[in-house]
Structure 1
Amino acid sequence: MNQRLLLRLLWPVAAAVVTTVFALARLAGDPRFYFADDTQLGSFGQWWQLGDQLRQGRLPILEPSAWQAGNYLAEGQWGLFSPLTWLIALGARASEDPVVFATIVKVLFLVLLSLGTYVLARSFTAARAWAALSAVLVPLCGFTVYMDAASWSTGLFNAALLPWVWWALRRAVEASRSPIPYLIASYLLVSFGYVFGVIALVAILVESLVRAIWQRDRDRIVRSLLASAWGAAWTVLVYLPGILTASVTPRGDFVVRNWFFLNADLTDVAGAASPTFPATIRTWVEEVQAPDGLLEEGVALWTGEPTNAPLVYIAWLLPYFLLVLPLSRAALRRCIPLLVLGSATFIAILAPSHIAAIRWPLRFIPYVALTLLVLFAVAATRTRWRELPKSRIRWTFALIVVLAVLNIGNVPLEWRSVGATAVAQLILLAAIVFVARRPWREAVRTAVMVTGAVAVTAATVAAQIVAMPRTPLPGSAVPDVSTMRQVLSEPRGDAIAVGNINAGAGDPATWDERLVANLWYLSETDVSNLYTVLPYDDFVQDLCMDLRGNTCADALDTLWSTDRETGERLSDLMGISTVLAMKATFPDQPQAPAGWHLEREGEFTWLFQRDEPLPAAGGVVWTGDGTALSEIEVSDGAVSFRVDEAGADGRVVLSRLDYPGYAISGAVKGDAVRDWLLTVEVSGAAPGDVVTVRFQPPGMPLLVAAASLGVLVAAGWLLLRLVSRRRAARPTTPAATRTRG
């Protein structure tokens, strides 16, 4: 390996190693740091189930027994079209310790984010050392560390992929290089199913196209259009099922409200350079009823006191931006894409907390951090440090003081940490000036500055671990996979849990009797209390079930009550044969109806089972008076039956949610029983007619067209580049050398 290659690898490898060390250091404060809230309640069980299905050669689209969580394509974040998600899922299925597995995945993606930041900064002509510094700092953004890395896996995945997508786009569009890296990276970004990274990508693509049009560069216009069409095609494929399903969920309501929930104001932004400053960002702390009776996510809005985490923190060196500005006109033109995305995402984090389906805009702050820190690397590369004007030093001094005053005014109780940060920044300012004026070679000065900055960063990470050792999001004592596999390990039909499932989640002993949210996928029994981002409105209201599977106490009475229209118990209409009641909600033994018995009393639960188990959800559970039929076949995606007799009441009820996307041949769709049970009307059918009820994602022709368009765009782009390269390589005969005939 030659010396030049070693030099090229030194800085990115160093950045990756430092990122790994800082990421693992979080485990000193909390060994389960990367296994909080949505990772334990949603991601791991979801990965495990997807991996289990993939091992069987299946890609799950719909699972009736999962009820409101079973419309997997509409859920989006299952990543059904993502090869990278498949790889993670197969790894989860093979793992025994979910905490260790999640930690490995999160750390790897933080390193991927670091390396992506490095190559992106280099594409904007940042020097290697400064690009490496930005690569160390971007994964330490407060929101990335305390929310995305700790809990929201797909948010971290998007943040990690975006710099790679942006780098590959610039490479393909600006430099006319191979589009293959962009095609792969952008597909992976979109297929994760997390919309915030896709919105950022849209902003990048629009900027690229507008700039190419402004500069009248035909080739770049064409490449920008191809890049946009490619991204749009896969965005339609991933997101259209959820959009077309939103009408039966809370996501279908167009609401613009500001409940000061996971969004920032201008005074909060002043804390972007303070590593332990909590600002006034509010998240889930205390449950309260939403204004005007509106139910957030099907149950209630959660809000409370400011969150004890530095969610607006970007980097401690932000005040030193004044030392490296202004940029030259040429550098400013080169950095227009950074300025556009940075401005757009900065405005977004100040937006109302709820804008239709886009909620909690602070989730854009990792992209603000990316643009700012890459811009800093570019500006620092062009700074003549030995000629640093005194005016810049004075303005930097003033900015540090002003930010400290604003932060103390915003959160007075944090005056000690804010004051300590300001004093440290002033001392560092003096150190920077000292180093800047040494008569050293520029490479030595840069190396000293960057190494010193990494040392300071290590100190800020240590301060965070001491002051804020864990994410503000909840965690619990989730055990190993073997323990969870023993819960309801002998299935007797479909099951549902009722009551406060989360009660005692911090006690390891409780996990021998019940699981939580998507961890139910690890049980041999199909349990409906799963995690969904698309709760079904009428189902939620009927069973008072929240999006993580908790129910109120009345849910048990509802399950065992008789439905007025059909005369059947609701539990029978759902195909439920097992009920697990939480003692935290039902301290006294509930009275089971006829046909049910108490199978087992545990320390924390009551386990009831039907005397004769019913078939799993998905099939026919009731027919109207005078109507008789014979079931032919039942699968997750379809039901077929033969009509033996069509009576005056031709309704046929299936134990399925009435999702958009069902197609019925041989009969017509009826009004849903209880407003959510799929109902077929066979009054017009003759004896012997076969009725087929089949589910396919709504908008299926558009999905096929979008996928076809994506393939055609990729093929066309590659073919166009091949033709262009052949034309460029073709030898030409100068006119002066032509001979007369």
Structure 2
Amino acid sequence: MKEERRVPSLGASVAEERGRRQEPTFLWPLLTAVATIVAALIPLLFNRRFYFFDDTQAGAYGIWVEIGEKLRAGDWPLFSIEGWAAGNYAAEGQWGIWNPMIMAIGLGASTGMSAVLFSSIVKIVFLVILALGVFNVCRTYRATPEWSAVAGVATTLTGFTTYMDGPSWVTGLMVFALLPWCWWGLKRLADGGNPLSALIPAYLLITIGYVHGTIMLVILFIALLAEALLLRTGKGALRLIVAGALCGAFALTVYFPGVATAPVTARGTVIGNSGFLGIDITGLASSPIPSSLPQITGWWGAFAPVPVLYIAWFLPLLLLTRPTVAQLRPAAALLVFGAASLLLTLAPSDLGPLRFPVRLMPYFAMSVLIVFAVLMSTVLVSRLTRLRVGAVILALGFSAYLAWSQNPDFVRLHVLFTGLAGLAILLVLLALFVDRPVLRRHGLRIAALIAVVFCLATAVAQKKYFPAAPLPDFQLPAEPGAYDDVLPDSKGSIFVVGEPAQLGEQVWDETLVSNSWYLADKPVHNLYSPIMYTAYSEDLCMTSHGWTCAGAIFKLLSVDEATGKTVAELLDVDTIQILREPQDSDGAILRSRVAPAGWTEVERTENSATWVRDDVEGAVGEPVATSAGTEVEVISNGEEKVSFEVTRTGADGGSVVLSRLDWPGYSVSNGSIGDSTRGYLLTVDVGPESEGQVVTVSFEPPAWNVLVPLMWVAICASVLWGVLGGLLARVLAGRRRSASRREPAAERESR
């Protein structure tokens, strides 16, 4: 066996370590990036659309294109009346309206590149950002470059990141990729580094608008504060508090409009546990096995069809470390953050507006892998005993047993992946502990390379047997130009009745789904909105994806008692497309749908019928109904403001209904906000004195006049702190160099 290898302690300086090592500092970060790119390309060998599933297809990509188109037109994407329930971007949050990175992605998406190719590039870039961020966090806690590289690559290959965030939930991937950079920057800040190294990634993470990432950033602040207090570094704790206050200002601007708008949306407010996308300890304990299909109830049933809880095959090697409390104290934030991540991952399925605790699995996995790198670098045992070997074998075998017990139908697959993990662990042990000259000099490097190679080999085998995400692939076209010819005879605002995703990919030349409508550049009600507008959605039985029940057609054509107008008129719907119901296999129900008076059928296929209003009047956002005796004339109409003149009103005044959702944030001059028509349409009350006056209705997100200045003050304060902090650091460094040069001269004079 080998003599004890010298490794840096948790308190050792990086300079001391560099003094012991003579290799380029960029070598292992470069290896991390290259290996991550290779790993990210592996799924494409088996599924070219791997990074274009579910919410990326139906949600994010359409948003990116719309953002890019608006920016090219000189507009800032804040609010859209034609987007209806999906048009309140500030309340939605996840449009990233304050985020320059999202704006750049939007400009890129709107160039016309293949949607599949562009989405894949974006996600691979963020996987590389994630891997390098983890590498830097590991190095901050004195892990060696070799084990830091292993942790960085492995984090991008964990099950939830690979099969959920990567293919579908791209905003989750983005915030996860940025969080280790926040960690690295905040740790540097606590040690006296430039604040911008923490505040820039924190700003980018928060302004993406994905609340799970912001919550984990708050937990990270708490963990680092605890670490600073344990290490008794008061100045470091104060710096973290100031940075936290600035980040709080960023978060308040991003999230307050959504909170203030919550009373009219479908955001949850209760704590409960339906078991949906919840996990248990058994699933976590099988996380070293790449084929483990844990018991997680989801859209797929009771058991996950892919290894969503997989972390890394090499975790049993943790039993070769011997940490003490004193050694772990400088890395307290790792333990606090990891423990909090675990608790949240095991939380109930519904925590108010937060759903699906399994979404936080990547953060727990990252914590485990960083701890692995740190412990393997600092407290690896110097001698391999039979007891240690037995413990590693037992841990791997127990995890394999749990994987088999959860899904015994895949016994051969479990044997294959367990055998692959066992072989890799054996080779790592040989590299670390066999007493040979070449291994004494290069054993650590060889062990790390073995680990990275087997991570990639495992990824190949995983993607061969599990080639796709367990989420829908709507098979939407890859080329943006394919969306241009949908509903060529439509006019004005469109409403689609039915569930297009249920009819298969053959309907995409007739209709679209959710945010893919942005690519067709047609105003449509049926966009994707995770918050929804409750009363509107319930009235039209519309889901968050914009799908409706078949009965929505009858609701559209029904007459509203209060106004005497049809619901379609109140919503300014000029085109209705009715889709065949999935159970209507012979199309009989669809054939029975006949255009009523005032509408003309312009297209009919075996899957859809399209009607257009004979007289298209006005535009979305304008007045659509008035009370008896009241008449108005539109002067101007825009996204956030509409003006009209009251040409006639009754003795007691009147009311004007506009084809706008009654979002919190509207104000009126020469009138007042009245009770919503049908519980969701903006209604303005005008008095008898309003005749001849111009009424202006304006929208601004709640508290926007306070939040926007707050955001700019926080941004300017961050930049000022960073610039002044950098200048001060240079001045102090110069003084220290001058003092060090004066000391030898003083010593010579004394002699």
Match status 1:453 vs 2:451: yes
Equivalent of residue 272 in structure 1, options 287, 304, 321: 287
Partner of 1:483: 482
Equivalent of residue 259 in structure 1, options 267, 274, 277: 274
User: Structure 1 residue 332: deviation in Å?
Assistant: 0.9
Equivalent of residue 314 in structure 1, options 296, 311, 316: 311
Partner of 1:363: 359
Mapped to 2, the partners of 1:722 and 1:210 lie a distance apart of: 29
* Identity among equivalent pairs (%): 37
Mapped to 2, the partners of 1:688 and 1:720 lie a distance apart of: 60
User: Structure 1 residue 699: deviation in Å?
Assistant: 2.0
The worse-fitting range, judged by mean Cα deviation, of 704-713 and 605-614 is 704-713
SS at the partner of 1:35? coil
Equivalent of residue 200 in structure 1, options 206, 209, 216: 216
Match status 1:524 vs 2:524: no
Equivalent of residue 198 in structure 2, options 152, 158, 182: 182
The worse-fitting range, judged by mean Cα deviation, of 420-429 and 520-529 is 420-429
Deviations 1:325-376 (A, max 9, x none): 2224554122211111111001111100111001101111111121111111
Partner of 1:676: 680
Counterparts in 2 of 1:296-445, with a 5 A limit? Answer: 304-323=301-320, 325-329=321-325, 331-384=327-380, 386-435=382-431, 436-440=433-437, 441-445=439-443
User: Structure 1 residue 315: deviation in Å?
Assistant: 0.7
Alignment-mate amino acid for residue 656 of structure 2: V
Would you say the 8 A contact 2:289–2:417 is kept in 1? yes
Partner of 2:499: 500
Would you say the 8 A contact 2:486–2:511 is kept in 1? yes
Partner of 1:662: 666
Equivalent of residue 104 in structure 1, options 102, 107, 121: 121
SS at the partner of 1:65? coil
Would you say the 8 A contact 1:342–1:367 is kept in 2? yes
Would you say the 8 A contact 1:493–1:578 is kept in 2? yes
SS at the partner of 1:562? coil
Mapped to 2, the partners of 1:683 and 1:459 lie a distance apart of: 74
User: Structure 1 residue 403: deviation in Å?
Assistant: 2.2
User: Structure 1 residue 555: deviation in Å?
Assistant: 0.3
User: Structure 1 residue 715: deviation in Å?
Assistant: 4.6
708 and 108 in structure 1: CA distance in 2 versus 1, 3 angstrom threshold: closer
SS at the partner of 2:59? helix
Alignment-mate amino acid for residue 256 of structure 2: L
Mapped to 1, the partners of 2:522 and 2:398 lie a distance apart of: 59
User: Structure 1 residue 170: deviation in Å?
Assistant: 1.1
Would you say the 8 A contact 1:625–1:649 is kept in 2? no
Partner of 1:462: 460
426 and 320 in structure 1: CA distance in 2 versus 1, 3 angstrom threshold: same
Alignment-mate amino acid for residue 195 of structure 1: V
Partner of 2:91: 74
632 and 570 in structure 1: CA distance in 2 versus 1, 3 angstrom threshold: same
Equivalent of residue 514 in structure 1, options 504, 511, 521: 511
Partner of 1:689: 693
Mapped to 2, the partners of 1:384 and 1:630 lie a distance apart of: 80
SS at the partner of 1:272? coil
TM-score, structure 1 as length reference: 0.92
Counterparts in 2 of 1:27-42, with a 5 A limit? Answer: 27-42=44-59
Mapped to 2, the partners of 1:165 and 1:443 lie a distance apart of: 35
Match status 1:172 vs 2:171: no
SS at the partner of 1:496? strand
User: Structure 1 residue 688: deviation in Å?
Assistant: 2.0
Mapped to 2, the partners of 1:643 and 1:538 lie a distance apart of: 29
RMSD (CA atoms): 2.2
User: Structure 1 residue 432: deviation in Å?
Assistant: 3.5
User: Structure 1 residue 139: deviation in Å?
Assistant: 0.1
Mapped to 2, the partners of 1:328 and 1:626 lie a distance apart of: 83
Would you say the 8 A contact 1:618–1:656 is kept in 2? yes
User: Structure 1 residue 24: deviation in Å?
Assistant: 1.0
The worse-fitting range, judged by mean Cα deviation, of 210-219 and 56-65 is 210-219
Mapped to 1, the partners of 2:244 and 2:278 lie a distance apart of: 29
Partner of 1:210: 226
Alignment-mate amino acid for residue 574 of structure 2: S
Deviations 1:635-660 (A, max 9, x none): 11011122222224611100011111
Match status 1:58 vs 2:58: no
Partner of 2:243: 227
Would you say the 8 A contact 2:290–2:310 is kept in 1? yes
Match status 1:473 vs 2:457: no
Would you say the 8 A contact 1:499–1:581 is kept in 2? yes
Mapped to 1, the partners of 2:237 and 2:379 lie a distance apart of: 33
Mapped to 1, the partners of 2:83 and 2:713 lie a distance apart of: 33
630 and 450 in structure 1: CA distance in 2 versus 1, 3 angstrom threshold: same
SS at the partner of 2:596? coil
Partner of 1:296: none
The worse-fitting range, judged by mean Cα deviation, of 702-711 and 540-549 is 702-711
Would you say the 8 A contact 2:65–2:107 is kept in 1? yes
Mapped to 2, the partners of 1:525 and 1:704 lie a distance apart of: 31
Equivalent of residue 604 in structure 2, options 596, 601, 604: 601
User: Structure 1 residue 686: deviation in Å?
Assistant: 2.9
User: Structure 1 residue 383: deviation in Å?
Assistant: 4.4
Deviations 1:120-148 (A, max 9, x none): 11111111111111111000010001000
Would you say the 8 A contact 2:314–2:425 is kept in 1? no
Count of residues in Structure 1 that have an aligned counterpart in Structure 2: 710
The worse-fitting range, judged by mean Cα deviation, of 41-50 and 489-498 is 489-498
SS at the partner of 1:606? strand
Would you say the 8 A contact 2:195–2:725 is kept in 1? no
Equivalent of residue 163 in structure 1, options 159, 174, 180: 180
Would you say the 8 A contact 2:635–2:644 is kept in 1? yes
Would you say the 8 A contact 2:558–2:566 is kept in 1? yes
125 and 115 in structure 1: CA distance in 2 versus 1, 3 angstrom threshold: same
TM-score, structure 2 as length reference: 0.91
271 and 384 in structure 1: CA distance in 2 versus 1, 3 angstrom threshold: closer
491 and 662 in structure 1: CA distance in 2 versus 1, 3 angstrom threshold: same
Alignment-mate amino acid for residue 376 of structure 1: F
SS at the partner of 2:194? coil
User: Structure 1 residue 229: deviation in Å?
Assistant: 1.1
The worse-fitting range, judged by mean Cα deviation, of 703-712 and 203-212 is 703-712
Match status 1:136 vs 2:134: no
User: Structure 1 residue 544: deviation in Å?
Assistant: 0.5
183 and 157 in structure 1: CA distance in 2 versus 1, 3 angstrom threshold: same
Mapped to 1, the partners of 2:325 and 2:94 lie a distance apart of: 42
User: Structure 1 residue 312: deviation in Å?
Assistant: 0.7
User: Structure 1 residue 391: deviation in Å?
Assistant: 2.6
Partner of 2:623: 620
Would you say the 8 A contact 2:621–2:658 is kept in 1? yes
Alignment-mate amino acid for residue 471 of structure 1: A
Match status 1:643 vs 2:640: no
User: Structure 1 residue 6: deviation in Å?
Assistant: 6.8
Would you say the 8 A contact 2:653–2:688 is kept in 1? no
Gaps (5+ residues) in structure 1?
286-303
